Structure 1
Amino acid sequence: MTAIDSRAERSGSRLPSHFGWIYAALMVTMLLSALDQTIVSTALPTIVGELDGLSHMAWVTTAYILAATIGMPVYGKLGDLIGRRQLFLIALAVFVAGSGLAGFAQDMPQLIAYRALQGLGGGGLMIVSQAIIADLVPVRQRAKFMGPMGAVFGLAAVAGPLLGGWITDNHDWRWAFWINLPLGIAALVISAAAIKLPRKRVKVRFDYLGTALMAVAVTCLILLCTWGGTEYDWTSPTILWLGAVTIAAAALFCVVESRVAEPLIPLRMLRNPVFSIATLIGMIAIGLGMFAVISYMPTYLQMVYGYSATESGLLLIPMVVGMMLTAVTSGSLVSRLGRYKGFVIAGMVVMPIGVWLLSTLDPSTPVWLLCLYIGVLGAGMGLVMQNLVLAVQNAFPQEEVGTATSSNNFFREIGATVGVAVVGAIFTNRLTDALGGIGTDFGGAGAESITPAIVRSLPEALRDQVIDAYADSLLPIFLGLVPVVLVGTALALFLPGRKLREDDEHRGAAADEQPLEAATA
């Protein structure tokens, strides 16, 4: 494959040659990194049984998310300091290596360690891919390519469990990791041959202390959210200590970031109204609100409607379709109009409507209406997610795009972690009380061990009580999340509607000795 020339026409109307290959490689790597957050969910029972690791089961997922979250701001900052091409190839190589090793794991500690290695690479792929688009695509054209990249996360949320279940049922769970190898290696070859970005020759003064404090704060926060209400009571000494260390490490991190020459997450970015508002929308509305709804919808579909794990995954496809349609359409329109604010506001109006509609479900709701409600939610997300990233990138010079992008994604991931944990704790407490009030041992399974199969096997009268308990425990939480998402709607009204730049002067990272040339968009 011929290498692209990293030159850009000042008008900003043209793209690099071979951009289609580059974009395909970036999309594949983003899909792989997003898939690996969810693909093991349906394979976990088999993995746990084979590796004898029930007590460590949660860590198979937590290790990946923890490493990816910590890695995000590190990759973003390093990309701005030393250039993104080599960093992207390193992240992809680490991800592929972690995938191969995870498939060969012989016990749970090995699998958890290799999953952390995967996450360290996966976090970089998610961040650096978006920053490379900013390097190669003029800002006015960028929205049409960022939209589909955002929809990849919705696709992964649905496809991951389906693919993991199919692989486990028909092959071997190890292929849930090995499937990354051919695609990852192909993307690595294409990226190495096609992506040509300038290497920045600057003296790197990396923020090691800030990185260490951030890692401590994030680790303790994720452990707190993962263990709270499950492994330990929320008021237990372990959880309280984790909370105290999280607060202390975060406070020290802020002190360090205000004093070092090259902060990992520059606090001055918070003074930029576009960054602060877009990040708050992502953290509160999408992270705290939307991800929590998406995470618990499959549980509702299985326990209340009686669908299998595969069927509940398929019923989330309307969300992906809605996201794809609005993300691609809005991306093209934003590129044409040079404005993003109206689309963010529209999405933030549609999203709470979607959450409210889902809160009105009951066991008699027809499937077509359920799919419509899920599609409305996806349509709102498609209008918002990548347009927020675009807004943040447009608000900073090219030399800070990686840091700004990674910081925005980092806070959204933190919001999602907290949101899913809090909703899970509330749901568990409400459900435990509701099932306890029914007054039966559920065929000897106990309230904590009840499964969809057990629910389907219960006598009709008892089954109806259990179904009502699940619906009454979860749907009011969805209703309670509507005001949370509406906070994002209110914030969107204050998002500065800056016009996308027409010229290419901000693109310092791509302005090598040769200006960027390319195939017509």
Structure 2
Amino acid sequence: MTDTVAPGAPGAPGAPGAPGAPVIDRRRMRLVMAGLMLGLFMSALDQTIISAALRTIADDLNGLSQQAWANTSYMITSVITTALYGKLSDIYGRRPLYVIAVAVFVAGSVLCGLAQSMVMLSVFRGVQGLGAGGLMSLAFAILADLLPPAERSRYQAWFGAVFGVSAVVGPVVGGFFAGLDSFAGAAGWRWAFFVNVPIGIAAVLIVLGQVRIQNDRSADKPDLAGVLTLILFLVPVLFAVEQGSKWGWGSAGTLGLFAVGAVGLVLFVTAQRRAGGAALLPTPMFRNPVFSLYNGVNTIVGAAVFGSLAVLPLYLQIVKGLSPTEAGLMLLPQTLGIIGGGRLCSAYVTRTGNFKGFMLLGIVLMMAGTFWFATFGADTALWQAGVAAGVMGLGIGQCWQVMLVAIQRGLEPQYMGAGIGSFAFFRSIGGTVGISVFFSLFFGSVGGRISDAYAGAASDPGFREALADPSVTSQPANQTLLAGRNGAVSLDDSSFLAHADARLAHPFLEGMAQAMQTVFLVSGSLLALGLILALVPKTGGRSAAKTAGSPASAPAPSPEPAVSASADRSS
């Protein structure tokens, strides 16, 4: 027999009128959650660990200016496979796909730990992304198979706690490994990847032993045309975004790649329409206006959040001179904000079904935090960074928690895997584009900003004194630093800053901060666009009203979880 929600649970397949629905007991449910949470923890921990350690990794591999690819390659493959895992799980079942996702992610982690260059690391991060695409979407899909809508928010809050814990632990662990010269015969930063191996093994063992659900499988074949056209769309566009500042935005190479991407997008949309219910993103889902509109908001917010948060650790570690561990601890308020925001809204949304107010407030808070970041310079007090990060975290916790609830509502059972996968899919598309654009914007403008800052420092007595002292200017670190007066400094290895004279380094750091200010301004503007889109009235009649989560249409929540404490009937 199989494990699903208990009979009579509100909104469940086994609700009254559907006798004979199988049951999962409460103990089994806890074990299933443990397996799913380990997989999510591994994925979330990897992102936060790498964020804290990436500067050290890039300096060691001599590729700081190429670090965008370490994130972008991961995001590209995870975007593509997120939608694919969701759809394949509708066809072949959740458990085998989840185990495959974990195995691929662990294999990619081992390869990343063995990388000898930024190019190799970027390629292997892409392998990681092939597995990461399934870790979140399949966890939520399995949960949706087990629980009725009225109870999902309660258990999804557990998933939110996983991201919160990983956001606390990850930067500290990443900073710890990055600060080690070596550990067990390997450079310390390599263990930021190797740590995924035991977590992944534990997740696989639990899922294989405890997850025995049998979702209603689709008879459709995998949408290979959708996968190929999605690749044709994403890869050229992201490569053009990454290289545009070097080649020139109006160059033939950049425009040619954008043109190929545009053709790929048209072909992808056409393939999805032809595939119907077998599509990676089945077009019937988009007939629901709430589903379509909030996925649009999801994409924009993903670009703004992922892009800006990729730059923030550079501000803390390079401009403010914090160690990776210290920078990770400075992001603790953001973590607490994410946890607090999620818990604040999840209980209310579960009880009432109303979510729009929390989502709008979340976007406003993210805007406030991001525009605050845009005022930061080299001399800004660190407490401001901590408070701004907390404000942004509070907004993230509210917005994405309720956005997932909004997107899930109204999905038909046969589209549940693809529909939940769409949440991670569109957020990842936004994040991938955001990281590529923002790093390109930063590295494309930082040279000029540093030159301008040095020109403005000519009137500073301390700078002139240091510049006139041959014992200072003859130092290799200071010579590398002063090359920035003409925009000639290389940013592939920023470790020279630790040995540079503070008087000569200040204009350099101020120029970097100004380049980051531009990134945060663009991020805040994107969030403002997302807010406007979220305010657009949703129409579409009865189905839209149901999906919107009004109290009248939301399933009445039960006081206890919908899983039954009766004996396990599974074989």
TM-score bin, normalised by smaller chain: 0.7 to 0.9
Aligned to 1:11: 9
Pick closer, same or farther for the CA change 1:306–1:194 going to 2, 3 Å: same
Pick closer, same or farther for the CA change 1:147–1:436 going to 2, 3 Å: same
Is residue 81 from structure 1 mapped to residue 91 from structure 2 by the alignment?
A: yes
Q: 2:555 is aligned with what amino acid?
A: E
Aligned to 1:472: 514
Aligned to 1:95: 105
**Cα offset, 1:229, TM superposition:** 2.2
**8 A contact 1:455–1:466 mirrored in 2:** no
Query: Which of the numbers 460, 483, 490 marks the counterpart of 1:449?
Result: 490
**Cα offset, 1:366, TM superposition:** 3.2
Matches within 5 A, 1:97-136: 97-103=107-113, 114-136=124-146
**Cα offset, 1:320, TM superposition:** 0.6
CA distance in 2, matches of 1:13, 1:266: 22
Structure with higher Rg: it is 2
**Cα offset, 1:148, TM superposition:** 4.5
What's the secondary structure of 2:245's corresponding residue?
Answer: coil
Pick closer, same or farther for the CA change 1:51–1:461 going to 2, 3 Å: closer
Matches within 5 A, 1:44-59: 59=69
Name which of structure 1's ranges 406-415 and 259-268 shifts more when overlaid on structure 2: 259-268
Q: 1:498 is aligned with what amino acid?
A: G
CA distance in 2, matches of 1:453, 1:360: 25
Query: Which of the numbers 25, 30, 44 marks the counterpart of 2:40?
Result: 30
Aligned to 2:544: none
CA distance in 2, matches of 1:318, 1:55: 28
- When normalised by structure 1's length, the TM-score is 0.86
Q: Extract unaligned runs of 5+ from structure 1.
A: 505-514
Is residue 483 from structure 1 mapped to residue 525 from structure 2 by the alignment?
A: yes
Per-residue deviation, residues 59-98 of structure 1 (Å, max 9, x unmatched): 5544432221110110111122332122212222222333
CA distance in 1, matches of 2:7, 2:267: 45
What's the secondary structure of 1:229's corresponding residue?
Answer: helix
**8 A contact 2:48–2:170 mirrored in 1:** yes
**8 A contact 1:275–1:408 mirrored in 2:** no
What's the secondary structure of 1:259's corresponding residue?
Answer: helix
**Cα offset, 1:342, TM superposition:** 2.2
Q: 1:402 is aligned with what amino acid?
A: G
Name which of structure 1's ranges 240-249 and 161-170 shifts more when overlaid on structure 2: 161-170
Matches within 5 A, 1:153-168: 153=163, 156=166, 159-160=169-170, 162-168=172-178
Matches within 5 A, 1:370-449: 370-437=385-452, 438=454, 442-445=478-481, 446-447=483-484, 448-449=489-490
CA distance in 1, matches of 2:529, 2:510: 30
Query: Which of the numbers 255, 264, 275 marks the counterpart of 1:260?
Result: 275
**8 A contact 2:39–2:203 mirrored in 1:** yes
Aligned to 1:517: 564
Aligned residues: percent identity?
34
Aligned to 2:18: none
Per-residue deviation, residues 135-185 of structure 1 (Å, max 9, x unmatched): 112211211222443465566566545433423415134433332221111
**8 A contact 2:45–2:170 mirrored in 1:** yes
CA distance in 2, matches of 1:77, 1:183: 26
Aligned to 1:242: 257
Pick closer, same or farther for the CA change 1:413–1:487 going to 2, 3 Å: same
**8 A contact 1:274–1:395 mirrored in 2:** no
Name which of structure 1's ranges 388-397 and 232-241 shifts more when overlaid on structure 2: 232-241
**Cα offset, 1:401, TM superposition:** 1.5
**8 A contact 2:285–2:291 mirrored in 1:** yes
Is residue 324 from structure 1 mapped to residue 339 from structure 2 by the alignment?
A: yes
Is residue 498 from structure 1 mapped to residue 496 from structure 2 by the alignment?
A: no
Aligned to 1:272: 288
**Cα offset, 1:216, TM superposition:** 2.1
Aligned to 2:545: none
**8 A contact 2:115–2:121 mirrored in 1:** yes
